[in-house]
Chains A and B, each alone.
Chain A
Amino acid sequence: MAGVTIASLHKRFGAVRAVDDVSLDLSPGEFVSLVGPSGCGKTTLMRIVAGLERAEGGTVSIAGRDVTGLRGADRNVAMVFQSYALYPHMTARQNIALPLVMRRLGARQRLPLVGRAWPGTRAALAGIEADVIATAESLGLGHLLDRKPAQLSGGQRQRVALGRAIVRRPDVFLMDEPLSNLDAALRVQTRKEIVDLHRRAGASTIYVTHDQAEALTMSDRVAVMMAGRILQVANPTAVYDDPRDLRVARFIGSPRINTLAAEIGADGLVRVAGQAMGLAASARGAHVYALRPEHLVLAPAPLMQGRGLAARVEHVEFLGEALLVHARLTATGEDVVARIAPEDRNRLPADGVVGFVAAPGRGLLFGADEARVAAVPTAPMPAGARVHG
């Protein structure tokens, strides 16, 4: 069991700050996702931890040992690549065995044919074979060991890549978008398998992804990265419900969080297009009000009794388990999306004009600098206006 400490790492590519003063702590056995849009520096950060890329400043420690100056091969870190990076000329068995061969056999013992004559080689090879088979069995690869990567499906190649990573029991797993080349169904299944694998191996895992669903479902903590900086590190619930930055709020959650221009008056109430949204803050002036699609409560306009924001329904998407209602605010022309239960479809008014309010206690406030601004809920909404909550 070994933790990872990343302290104020810096890395530039030309004028671009790929990694800009990043610090992150992983406790032993923790699963942390680095999530962010492409080009945000998450892969670079991982490659620095792996020792494949050299940082210009800052340190990386694994199990309390400063490894900043060590090359990747000396860090006892395993990495799973997006492309799998399997050696195409080797069988699955040879691919999985390679990290053990490189570590347990000396250069002379690795020579073809004559290597076996060296004392201890046979015993070492037998040990490697046993470990490879145990790893392969645990991944359901036992019958595929003699195939080359080209003869394996995408999912099978992915398992071989995982096998090559876990076979030598590393201190840290690094995974760089390992699921992005799999089809959707396999991705969901493999998600769970990777988490199981992580629990069994007990090593700290850094998991890079641009897919927020993977980050939220798999991780102990999620680090949201943008433009080379980590904006927030927190458990999945906190990242979703309590984002510290508007960019985090926008990146996490699908469909995207609704953002509306808001004004805080002298009375401290947050108003959008003149309507109080049920939030109060000590800040004043122009802000951004944000509300998740599932926290919009829609009702036919007459039922709202003058409360709530009037909007016209533009388009309804059926997702199976929910409906997405795309609407445009009558007052400001801003677009909003609401997620409602499918059975509420026939409650949408025929003329398409609805009113909406925030579900009680929901709604987030952000300043002009995109940082979260403290706000507290005010009065609950009137009973009877509720269509869905």
Chain B
Amino acid sequence: MAEAATIAQTRAAPARRHAGETAVAWLLAAPATLAYVAMILVPSLALVVLAFTDYELGAPGFRWVGLGNFTELMADRGFLRSVANTALYVLFVAPVSVALGLAIALLIEGGRRGRALFRALFFLPVVSLTVAMATAWSYILHPTIGPLNALLRAVGIDGANWLGDSGTVLLSLGLIGIWENAGFNLVLFLAGLTAIPRDLYAAAEMDGVKSAWDRFVTVTWPMLGPTTLFVVIITTVRAIRVFDTVATLTQGGPNKASEVILFTMYTEGFSFFRMGYSAAITLLFLVAVTVLMLVQNRLIDRRVHYG
């Protein structure tokens, strides 16, 4: 009997230890898990729920409206305008700031002096507060007292009302977006460039690769593949999320010419308090961003990781 009991005990021991380990694991993961659930999961679920209601901030209750918010959105010309504006903005800002970031990174990497200085200078827009910089931009772009138009006048060109004209406002915001993003991309590309083994350049030289262009095509560009994928995704997301320049500089105007998705969502939710409607926009936005990321990842990933 005693023997049997010991055997039973020794058998049970690993199971008990296992259970103990599990408990400790949960305990250790609890703060992060709770934070994730409280800060991300619950709000996201609430958002999904809200998107199917007509809830308004401060209202005592809400009604289920099914897909009502979405059908309304599809007919909302303001919303469709903001989708088109955002798309234009992304198609302008993302490619240009990726290309510009890469070009400046190559120049800095190829230069002998002042690397740290140039890196800091170009990274400055990333660390500076957009809202604060907006003041500077609204001054620079001011149609009458702005230095940009003064400069143009000096060479005999009539400047535009950059932020006040519906024809140029998106272009102006896009240029500011590029100014913000290129510095960020530059730093990422510089990191990617330093990770390229020097031996590959030496091998290319031995193989008769002579011109800077051939070197770029043979070694640099393919080896930057994973970095480029990351930069393209990050820049696209950052461009889609454009908000603070719009909110501070144009308020979506003039005449909704610079209305972008996040700004529409903000106005619907926080100016008109239509939380349900705003949630529906956010949900569409999240779905669109996720799909875009997945497609980009699938399309490019296989071509940049040479496994």
Contacts and interface: CB of A to CB of B under 8 A. Distances in A.
Interface stretch (A85-93, A127-135, A312-320, A380-388): A85-93
A148 B208 contact: no
B207 A150 contact: no
B224 to A, nearest CB: 11
In the complex, which of the residues B197, B205, B210 has the most CB atoms of chain A within 10 Å of its own CB atom?
B205
B245 to A, nearest CB: 38
Contacts of A102: 207-210, 214
B203 interface: yes
A151 B203 CA distance: 20
Nearest to B205: A72
B160 to A, nearest CB: 40
B303 to A, nearest CB: 9
Interface in B211-260: 211, 214, 218-219, 222-223, 225
B207 A149 contact: no
A89 B202 contact: no
Contact of A81 (B199, B218, B307): B199
Interface in A45-93: 47, 50-52, 71-73, 77-79, 81-83, 85-89
Where chain B touches its partner, the secondary structure class is helix
A26 B306 CA distance: 40
A103 interface: yes
B222 A89 contact: yes
Contacts of A89: 222-223, 225, 306
B306 A79 contact: no
A149 B208 contact: no
In the complex, which of the residues B208, B211, B222, B223 has the most CB atoms of chain A within 10 Å of its own CB atom?
B208
A87 B209 contact: no
B306 A85 contact: no
Nearest to A77: B206
A89 B218 CA distance: 9
A142 interface: no
A79 B203 CA distance: 7
Given A83-B197, A87-B218, A50 B206 contact: yes
Contact of B208 (A47, A88, A103): A103
B103 interface: no
B205 A150 contact: no
A372 to B, nearest CB: 38
Nearest to B200: A85
Contact of B222 (A51, A72, A73, A87): A87
Nearest to A104: B208
A99 interface: yes
A107 B206 contact: no
B222 A150 contact: no
Contacts of A98: 207, 209, 218
Contact of B205 (A51, A83, A103, A110): A51
Contacts of B214: 102, 107, 110
Contacts of A151: 307
A164 interface: yes
Contacts of A50: 202, 206
Interface in A127-156: 148-151
Contact of B210 (A73, A82, A85, A149): A73
Nearest to A170: B206
A5 B218 CA distance: 32
A87 B307 contact: no
26 contacts: A50-B202, A73-B205, A73-B208, A73-B209, A78-B206, A79-B202, A79-B203, A79-B206, A81-B203, A83-B197, A85-B200, A86-B203, A87-B200, A87-B218, A88-B223, A88-B306, A89-B222, A89-B306, A98-B207, A98-B209, A99-B207, A102-B209, A103-B208, A110-B214, A149-B306, A164-B207
